[in-house]
Amino acid sequence: MFSMFRSLWQYRHFVFSSIHNELISRFARSKLGGLWMIINPLSQVLIYALILSNILAAKLPGIDNKYAYAIYLMAGLLAWNLFSEIISRCLNLFIEQGNLMKKMSFPRITLPTIVLGSCLLNNILLFMAMLGIFALLGHQFSITMLWLIPLTLIVVALALGVGLILGIMNVFVRDIGQGTPIVLQVWFWFTPIVYPENIIPESYRHLLSLNPMYPITSAYHQVLVYNKAPQLDSLIVISVISCALMLLSIFLFRRASGEMVDAL
């Protein structure tokens, strides 16, 4: 495993240049350029806010802002968009880069690293745009926002672990690529992002503990909406699970690299 990370460091310029070239090619001949990376999630926020803000704003305790629902929604989407984008990109990564993997000799670990770097850059730009919107809505900031650094690392570990495992499986069983978007859609609505958790009947609320994204989005809400530190007990558990999944995915990736090239 150390040799894998050593080779990744040796090819760091290839990784950075690939991320840069991907951004340039994505927005070539586009007048708005990188703004398109944040227009889609912000338009999603606008649609939900226009439809549901009057219904759900009253369900948000502890925040005195008439735009409380929009702030709550943006905080949850910041976590979810990073999670879902990494998984979606990893899902078809090896299939899309099959010709490159066959024709060139390079560390295969650079491929998910390029995806990760691109997704993190998108997330940072979205976060900066949200900060501007928060300021316009009169929402206060605090030092607790620094919690977003470890929270982002947890999201990355969980998403990369799940995404790599699914991406490897998708090379051999293409049904994985067809079913995963459906699962992600269901997973999104099973996570309190569009709605607060207190509208769920108490008899069913314990089911949220089965959702690994629930403590993460709750932590984002605590930090960005309520300016409070997240609850560490639930984060420790999901951190251990995320790291275990990421290590498992890297192990499977190393073992399956040769077979994937043959299958592609």
234-254 pLDDT, tens digit per residue, is 899 999 999 999 999 988 888
Q: What's the Cα-to-Cα distance from 123 to each of 91, 95, 161, 172, rounded to whole Å?
A: 19, 24, 18, 30
34-69 pLDDT, tens digit per residue, is 666 677 777 777 777 777 666 666 567 767 667 778
- Spans of all domains in the chain: 2-263
- Confidence category of residue 77, pLDDT binned at 50, 70, 90: very high
pLDDT at 165 over 70: yes
Q: Which residue has the tokens 């960005």?
A: 224
Tokens coding 114: 């390029």
pLDDT at 115 over 60: yes
Say what the pTM is: 0.89
> What whole-number distance in Å separates Cα of residue 187 and Cα of residue 176?
16
Length of the chain equals 264
